[in-house]
Structure 1
């Protein structure tokens, strides 16, 4: 039978845990006390940087522009991608990159909600699509990881933004892990890697579609997704990415 002292100790422990849960503990980024997983200061800093940099990025690949008067980088002018437009919430850089690695490779899907909040500002009346979809994982990669990080972000954007979401619009065929390939290998291996899912043709035809992805590195994956959707009749294909590697 528990003693009164032990009962009080358990009660204090439970109260402490409840208080920590209510307060949210620490910000995952700056480690300061926060009621949410990412504190308002860190989110505010990220949004200010994104707003400041957005006009100085290529409209189709989201890389920083060297010529301020241009809308597209030299490469996109020379070889126009299938992707019509791309917006990135953050650069893939310290300290945000470690959150993405945790989210993607360390089985922490709960990070999707605070990270998706950083992407909400990518939507505007001018960039509002008819349909939202995500970059799919192959069946093998899905079984290995347990969840699709792009889907976890997209579904948390669709609700707050009031956008139709088609999580099964596309299928991905088996292939090598992209993070292990260089730029030329990525472009080669991703060719023909995506298919429109059965019964989805009507949703794609004539639609302006925004594809959600966690990180854009070379742009090869999103460009192949755009090419696949346009072959299916999509009018325009855009992308919202959490982070852009520069």
Structure 2
């Protein structure tokens, strides 16, 4: 009998290596619980009204819609549909995302940061995993390339580096300094990797931190930006949880403001 074609031993070793970098999946499990509740208890999570109106815009033209849907859902659906070509959410959109939505996001970033953000520079994705993979594909050319990643951090980054076959270069956040980046340690990690023949291509900064929840002070961010400039590193800035900053804590700022 021929041997089994697929076994644990014959799997891609890069995929197996992910086990060493996967973190707590509590958020994913909670999301699945909510999904199950939506399926078993319709109405328990009212996410469907706006989606229903956007997917079937003709409902907005019917008189009974006002009694079947909340006024807020109707208003939001009209606003969203105005951003889509031909007022429909079906079919393929532009590879960067619907232009109208990118315009709204660019305007929001411009308002937040105080300088112009070009909608053509924005790519909309279904979550954080696709852009992470996109950047890793762009930066990592072979196993000699490396990425500086903070520890602790979201496992999605460390696993993406490993899966690409590159070298993960960890740098350790300083809990005694509010999980800040100690520049001397960062330099030591970079030099150590380079001494082993690793071509470090980028530096990942997660701000606010995940899972730590810390916010980098402006002075530390300026040090990081200058470090990347001096060492010719691509600065990868994850701002995904910027709204999760408690009132009264350190004021969050985008690295774009620091660069300005």
The structure that is strand-richer by fraction is 1
- TM-score tier after normalising by the smaller chain length: 0.3 to 0.5
Normalized against structure 2, the TM-score is what? 0.36
The structure that is helix-richer by fraction is 2
Greater Rg over alpha carbons, structure: 2
